[in-house]
């Protein structure tokens, strides 16, 4: 009996165990089916710190008159020794960009540049209704300050630039029918003029050697050598690299001191532009008598020789042509250029780097609290040479001009807070400022989102541009991994701040708010790698 009882209980427990196992298997299969359809990442947001490369470059194409970014598409072409290193914000190598919002967000592959070994880029910008221009960059650190390329608008040039238009009639063979002459007008900001004369029977051709025929629209633009807005629009800036300079030096960096600049554009109704002229046009450029000749140290006078450089608007290169003699006609100084190309021509003195200032120039700024921003302008005697902004307590000028210089320093609001003049720019100098009190800093954040996803949040390293609402004085601050500070703000004041990426992503921030309460948002395209 004991044996039978034991066997019965055993069968009972075996049956019970089988039922439990069977039930467990059924339930387990259902759970497994649910698990297979479960998204373990649902509701999870991926946060990514992003920059296209260790070296970040940001730029903006702006109207030379207003200083505001263009609201039209801009074609960008990149040249220079380090052009092959350029990548877009998406990390794609490129030397040609079509920017719909006039902004540039770039990086450099490879070794981070330094003062001892800077990277060099020549960036050319072209937009409909504007005279094309460029900038030559010497990149000497990982996060250089943002740059701007200033384009002159045909219909509304800045002070110091004057434009005149005309019509040049040609035959079917591209030969000019009659003698043509176009003269730019003078004004309060542009007291000198330029005249372009094209002789009859001059044949006009484009860059491919094809004749350009029809009734051509002609535009002549002259730039003042003393107007600040005109000088800031000078193509390429004043420090650049030439293939050959006026002294026969090859592949040399140096500095221009401009005395006059004129551009010639000829185009038919089909958009075909003239490049070559079968016989030289005569270009007479009036010169301002207040311009100094750096070779003599005195003002321009009849008998001086000025080098003539031709500008290639396609690639932004300057080429030395020949020297022109300064003469005096009707009480005004002038120089005559023989132009075999429809292009830009500059009468400018050239100083190769290292010939007079091998160690560069350095300005130590005293009286400025650490980390606070200042804007600055550097003058080559009485001409604006370069401008910028910094939060550091020093300004370093690579490949500077030689001779007298003046440095002006400004507060974040645009008020002059210091100035210093030296008889020789080369070497080390000190400038003292009286910095405004009671300025505040504000922590901010920048976050980028993919246009096609809600689960990816990117914290980019980028420059933020900001200004007091109602003013035109911009400042910049660099944010690392999406975080940083806007510095030098007036207390309890509204500021406009944003990043120039696919447009200006601006928000209004009050400097009296709790730190970090505002966020600047950027939308990234769906084809960007981090959004795929």
| DSSP state string for 389-436 | EESSSEEEESS---S-EEEEEE-TTS-EEEEEEES--SEEEEEE--PP
How many CA atoms lie less than 13 Å away from 239 in the CB half-sphere?
A: 19
| Distance spanning both ends of the chain, measured CA to CA | 74
- 415 contact partners, CB below 8 Å, separation of at least 6: 436
CA–CA distance, 303 with 287 (Å, rounded to integer): 13
- HEC string of 207-233? CCCCECCCEEEEEEEEECCCCHHHHHC
Residue pair 287/299 in contact (Cβ under 8 Å)? The answer is no
- 370 contact partners, CB below 8 Å, separation of at least 6: 393
Cα separation values, 468 from 369, 430, 475, Å: 20, 29, 9
Residue pair 100/73 in contact (Cβ under 8 Å)? The answer is yes
pLDDT for 527 equals: 74
- Secondary structure letter of residue 480 according to DSSP: B
pLDDT for 314 equals: 92
CA–CA distance, 375 with 229 (Å, rounded to integer): 16
Tokens representing 384 are 């604006």
pLDDT for 517 equals: 58
pLDDT for 32 equals: 47
Nearest one of 339, 330, 309 to 220, comparing CA atoms: 339
Please report, to the nearest 10 degrees, the dihedral formed by the alpha carbons of residues 292, 293, 297, 299 taken in order. Answer: -50
Cα separation values, 437 from 45, 389, 417, Å: 42, 19, 12
pLDDT for 359 equals: 75
Residue pair 377/384 in contact (Cβ under 8 Å)? The answer is yes
Residue 164 pairs in a beta bridge with: 220
Tokens representing 510 are 């009050």
Sheet of strand 504-510, all strands in order from the earlier edge strand to the far edge: 475-479, 462-468, 494-500, 504-510
Tokens representing 459 are 């914290």
Residue pair 289/329 in contact (Cβ under 8 Å)? The answer is no
CA–CA distance, 114 with 274 (Å, rounded to integer): 41
The DSSP annotation for 159-216 comes to TTEEEEEEEEEB-TTSBB-S-EEEEPPP-SS----EEEEE-TT-BEE-TTS-B--SEE
pLDDT for 393 equals: 94
Residue 27: what are its φ and ψ, rounded to 5°?
Answer: -65, -40
Residue pair 351/238 in contact (Cβ under 8 Å)? The answer is no
24: left (phi over 0), alpha (psi -120 to 50) or beta: alpha
Nearest one of 333, 250, 331, 228 to 284, comparing CA atoms: 333
pLDDT for 46 equals: 55
Per-residue confidence in pLDDT tens, the chain, 532 aa: 333 333 333 333 344 343 433 344 444 445 545 544 444 444 444 556 667 788 999 999 999 999 999 988 999 999 999 999 999 888 889 999 998 889 998 999 999 999 889 999 999 999 999 999 999 999 999 999 999 999 999 999 999 999 999 999 999 999 999 999 999 999 999 999 999 999 999 999 999 999 999 999 999 999 999 999 999 999 988 999 999 999 999 999 988 999 999 999 999 999 999 999 999 999 999 999 988 888 888 899 999 999 999 999 999 999 999 999 999 998 899 999 999 999 999 999 998 887 667 778 899 999 999 989 999 999 987 889 889 889 899 998 877 777 889 999 999 888 999 999 999 888 999 999 999 998 988 988 888 888 887 777 888 888 999 999 998 888 999 998 889 989 999 989 999 999 998 888 889 999 886 554 578 888 887 777 777 6
CA–CA distance, 353 with 254 (Å, rounded to integer): 5
DSSP run (H or E) holding 462? strand 462-468
């Amino acid at each position: 009996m004991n044996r039978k009882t034991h066997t019965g209980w055993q069968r009972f427990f075996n049956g019970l165990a089988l039922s439990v196992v069977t039930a467990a298997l059924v339930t387990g299969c259902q759970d497994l089916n649910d698990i297979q359809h479960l998204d373990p990442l649902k509701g999870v947001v991926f946060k990514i710190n992003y920059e296209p490369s260790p070296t970040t470059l940001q730029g903006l194409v702006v109207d030379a008159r207003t200083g505001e970014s263009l609201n039209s598409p801009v074609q960008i072409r990149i040249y220079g020794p380090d052009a092959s290193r350029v990548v877009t914000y998406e990390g794609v190598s490129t030397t040609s960009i079509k920017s719909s919002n006039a902004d540039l967000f770039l990086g450099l592959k490879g070794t981070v540049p330094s003062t001892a070994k800077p990277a060099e880029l020549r960036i050319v910008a072209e937009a409909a209704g504007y005279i094309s221009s460029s900038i030559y960059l010497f990149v000497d650190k990982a996060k250089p300050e943002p740059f701007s390329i200033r384009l002159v608008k045909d219909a509304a040039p800045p002070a110091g630039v004057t434009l005149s238009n005309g019509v040049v009639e040609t035959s079917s063979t591209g030969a000019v029918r009659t003698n043509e002459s176009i003269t730019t007008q003078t004004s309060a900001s542009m007291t000198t003029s330029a005249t372009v004369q094209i002789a009859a029977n001059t044949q006009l051709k484009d860059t491919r050697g094809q004749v350009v025929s029809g009734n051509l629209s002609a535009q002549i633009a002259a730039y003042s050598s003393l107007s600040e807005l005109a000088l800031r629009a000078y193509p390429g800036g004043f420090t650049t690299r030439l293939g050959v300079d006026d002294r026969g030096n090859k592949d040399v960096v140096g500095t221009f001191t401009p005395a006059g600049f004129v551009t010639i554009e000829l185009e038919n109704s089909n958009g075909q532009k003239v490049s070559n002229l079968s016989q030289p046009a005569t270009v007479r450029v009036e010169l301002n008598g207040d311009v100094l000749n750096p070779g003599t140290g005195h003002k321009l006078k009849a008998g001086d020789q000025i080098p003539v450089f031709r500008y290639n608007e396609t690639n932004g290169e300057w080429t030395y042509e020949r020297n022109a003699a300064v003469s005096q006609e009707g009480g005004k100084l002038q120089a005559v250029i023989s132009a075999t190309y429809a292009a830009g021509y500059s009468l400018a003195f050239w100083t190769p780097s290292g010939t007079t200032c091998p160690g560069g120039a350095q300005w130590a700024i005293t009286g400025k609290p650490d980390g606070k921003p200042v804007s600055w302008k550097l003058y080559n005697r009485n001409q604006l040479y370069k401008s910028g902004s910094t939060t550091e307590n020093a300004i370093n000028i690579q490949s500077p001009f030689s001779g007298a210089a003046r440095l002006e320093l400004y507060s974040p609001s645009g008020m002059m807070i210091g100035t210093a003049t030296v008889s020789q720019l080369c070497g080390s100098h000190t400038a003292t400022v009286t910095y405004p009190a009671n300025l505040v800093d504000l922590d901010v954040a920048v976050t980028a989102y993919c246009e096609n996803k809600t689960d990816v949040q990117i914290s980019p390293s980028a420059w933020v541009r900001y200004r007091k609402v109602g003013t035109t004085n911009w400042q910049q601050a660099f944010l690392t991994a999406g975080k940083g500070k806007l510095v030098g703000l007036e207390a309890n004041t509204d500021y406009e701040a944003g990043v120039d990426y696919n447009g200006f992503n601006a928000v209004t921030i009050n400097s009296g708010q709790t730190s970090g309460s505002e966020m600047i948002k950027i939308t990234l395209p769906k084809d960007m790698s981090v959004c795929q």
